[in-house]
Structure 1
Amino acid sequence: MSKAFIPYGRQSISAADVEAVCEALTSDYLTQGPLVPEFENSVAELSQCKYAIAANSATSALHVACLALGVGPGDLVWTTPNTFIASANCALYCDAQVDFVDIDPQTYNLCPIQLKEKLELAKFQNRLPKVVIPVHFGGHPCDMRALHELSKEYGFYIIEDASHAIGAKFKGQPVGSRYSDICVFSFHPVKVMTTAEGGMAVTNKEPLADAMRLLVHQGVTKNKREFQTRSPGDWYYEQQDLGFNYRMTELQAALGISQLKRLNQFIEKRRERVQNYYKLLQGLPIQLPSEADYAFSSWHLFPIVLFEALEPQRALIFQYLREQQIGTQVHYIPVHTQPFYQEKGFAWGDFPQSEEYYQRCLSLPLYPDLTYEEQVYVANALREAIDRAFVA
């Protein structure tokens, strides 16, 4: 009997989740009903933010966040190379230009020291960014206080890409609650909680919330108080901007409301499994991920970094784990090395810390329903893969 595949991430769906979605499916509303606002309010409360705007993906939420901040042609947006492409693409959707800031080799997040150095040069060149998008990689918060101080000094906005980090905390406070203009979460199935597909933008600034909500809903409002002309009747609606159909459905919101009730449980289980890995992987020639003293990670990912001697054998180790039905993955291929971005002038060597991390990283399976026995199996397989790599 073959071993069941162990993915790097997997959703946890309960009977209560199924019941919640079925109730929504048999209700009067499949879209634009009461559940989306309820879910928004719950996420806003969790994040200690005044406003939350649901979207059909975190990518969509990042796009409208950029637009709400006025990003457009001629503007610069900076983010980290160590992220999924959406963190950079959202600026290109607005016809802005993208640049990157290298990572801290301990947290794998955008490095405040490198950011300050790049800002000093950009100020001299009169090419300061309009927006900086730090990414809370793997669920580990960036040093948001340091980034916030730099934003005040150099005059840029901050969008936190917290796609990995719902439930994470910076200095005891929820990510997104204090140090940024907008914060975005993802509810993709491999993330900490899921709505199947879906995203959310949270903010404490009403004008930004109003702008994002309008853009998510085709640029259309039915709110009489927002009408720019006199309403001829209750059927009336106004298009006030060029928006998008980025709405979240009632089915997704139903699942999100149900999942949110177990968010703390999900994170607790992830943190327990991280501690298991710390014990099971002792003595291996790898760097284990850790938490900075300011951080409470939601642990979306468990990325290990192979010692330098193993770098040439990373592909063999990856392949051996896959042959053992272990869904290891690489997070991430640096955005600036993608062919699309190389056509824009970026090249290997531009951001060495991100590139060095990429060449030696592997993500091990981590999700709430991962059993201890499966973790033992993963650890033993990794040990065997490393032993084979040294022989090779």
Structure 2
Amino acid sequence: MRDDFLPLSRPALGEEEVAAVAESLRSGWITSGPRVAELEGIFREATGAPHAVAVTSATAGLHIVLSALGIGPGDEVATPSMTFASTVNQIVLRGATPVFADVDYGTLQVRPDALAARITSRTKAVIPVHFAGAPADLDPIRAAADRAGIPVIEDAAHAVGTVYKGVPAGGPPRPDTPGNIAIFSFHPIKNITTAEGGMVTCYDDAFAARLRLLRFHGIERDAWQRYGKGGTPHYDIREPGYKYNLTDLHAAVGVVQMRKVAGLNARRAELARRYFAGLSRVPGIDLPQAVPYAHSHSWHLFIVKVTGMDRDGFIGALAERNVGVGLHFPPCHLLSYVRERFGTREGDLPDTERAGKGIVSLPLFPGMSDADVDYVCEAIRESVQGVRR
């Protein structure tokens, strides 16, 4: 029995991040400025997208994306139910209707055929989710969206470092073709963090300009352009916007984190392999399955499904052994307000619901030791075998 608590996640922050924040503080420029511009440039280079717009969260990013697309009452947006509620909340808050597609039980990725089947004349966008760090199958999803003449919004909140068929999340299908809109998250649990923050990448010049207006009150030029060297304080507003601009203090952390992301993700992959080795023969535990197409997994989460005992009992047994876990995610179509407002019910999405009853996210973060993984695996074996005796 370990004495200290092993959390689900812990951000990989060190003295470089502390120094970067201190440098920004000493510079006197702490709101959106040169560090935000630098982080946006890093994401343009990492994804191949010509535009990157830093925001205060992925949720804020989705809000302005849906706003810029003009999605509202009478419109539908197709998405998996196996996602964080933020996605559905933003659709609903725009006055639109979320329409849910089932996932593959083994991989938890949305099924392209199920997503395509949800597209109607009222569908104005589809939002596939790169779940847990593996990519959704974008080629057939893009094809279905193209046939309908609607955009694909990649939910890349889990996908900093994820690659689909040789193309990074948020990147174009081929070098000579435009890509989708993609939204990344920098929440503390994610593969990189800025404490709180997010990034939107896109390929349309006018759309990117609209996002920049919406993220900062509708003002055409941000504070750095107005008050930085060579700037002018004049501005105009042609439509009202929001207050979603990322600060330099946050971006300074992100710039350092992006220098480290390859190593951080490599360590996550090592820990995932150790989990597979330690849990491969444990009855009553379904391990994550690999997607059947070329990809690189960033291992944002390691999610098992508990089938051999009551899930709450399993969570309690790990808690008694000082191991923290997560639930990613309760199916959105079964959330109370969604059921009441849109009439969704149990039985609508069989594989999503089957997975949703058993999913548990195990501790996974770069600062974990091999011994930490071994301890979790042993705790799981003891918990499951204790029930079976």
**Under a length normalisation based on structure 2, what TM-score does the superposition of the two structures give?**
0.93
Aligned 8 A contact 2:327 2:361 in 1: yes
Q: Summarize the alignment of residues 64-143 of structure 1 with structure 2, pairs less than 5 Å apart.
A: 64-119=64-119, 122=120, 126-127=121-122, 129-143=123-137
1:164 aligns with 2:168: no
Identity of aligned residues (%): 35
Q: What residue is the counterpart of 2:183 in the other structure?
A: 184
Tell me by how many angstroms 1:237 deviates. Answer: 0.9
Aligned 8 A contact 1:316 1:389 in 2: no
Letter in 1 for 2:181: I
1:130 aligned counterpart, secondary structure: strand
Distance 1:278 1:104 in 2: 20
Distance 2:115 2:243 in 1: 35
Distance 2:233 2:164 in 1: 46
Q: What residue is the counterpart of 2:40 in the other structure?
A: 40
Aligned 8 A contact 1:77 1:131 in 2: yes
1:343 aligns with 2:340: yes
Distance 1:117 1:374 in 2: 43
Q: Once the two structures are superposed, what CA deviation does each residue of 1:130-167 show, in whole Å capped at 9, x if it has no partner?
A: 11111111011000011011111122211001000111
Q: What residue is the counterpart of 2:63 in the other structure?
A: 63
Distance 2:6 2:203 in 1: 40
Q: What residue is the counterpart of 2:310 in the other structure?
A: 313
Tell me by how many angstroms 1:291 deviates. Answer: 2.6
1:221 aligned counterpart, secondary structure: coil
Q: What residue is the counterpart of 1:360 in the other structure?
A: 358
Q: What residue is the counterpart of 2:147 in the other structure?
A: 153
Tell me by how many angstroms 1:255 deviates. Answer: 0.2
Distance 1:40 1:241 in 2: 24
Aligned counterpart for 1:369 among listed residues 358, 367, 370: 367
Distance 1:246 1:376 in 2: 42
Q: What residue is the counterpart of 1:297 in the other structure?
A: 297
Tell me by how many angstroms 1:282 deviates. Answer: 2.1
Q: What residue is the counterpart of 1:226 in the other structure?
A: none
Q: Which runs of 5 or more structure 2 residues have no equivalent in the other structure?
A: 174-178, 223-230
Letter in 1 for 2:17: D
1:201 aligned counterpart, secondary structure: strand
**Under a length normalisation based on structure 1, what TM-score does the superposition of the two structures give?**
0.92
Distance 1:246 1:116 in 2: 32
Q: What residue is the counterpart of 2:324 in the other structure?
A: 327
Distance 1:354 1:322 in 2: 26
Letter in 1 for 2:349: F
Aligned 8 A contact 2:214 2:241 in 1: yes
2:310 aligned counterpart, secondary structure: helix
Tell me by how many angstroms 1:376 deviates. Answer: 0.7
Distance 2:157 2:86 in 1: 10
1:374 aligned counterpart, secondary structure: helix
Q: Summarize the alignment of residues 187-226 of structure 1 with structure 2, pairs less than 5 Å apart.
A: 187-222=186-221
1:269 aligned counterpart, secondary structure: helix
Distance 1:235 1:256 in 2: 28
Distance 1:290 1:348 in 2: 25
2:27 aligned counterpart, secondary structure: coil
Distance 2:32 2:218 in 1: 15
Tell me by how many angstroms 1:390 deviates. Answer: 2.1
Aligned 8 A contact 2:99 2:118 in 1: no
Aligned 8 A contact 2:79 2:115 in 1: no
Distance 1:79 1:191 in 2: 21
Aligned 8 A contact 1:110 1:142 in 2: yes
Aligned 8 A contact 2:100 2:118 in 1: no
Q: What residue is the counterpart of 1:15 in the other structure?
A: 15
Aligned 8 A contact 2:187 2:193 in 1: yes
Aligned 8 A contact 2:171 2:180 in 1: no
Tell me by how many angstroms 1:2 deviates. Answer: 5.8
1:72 aligned counterpart, secondary structure: coil
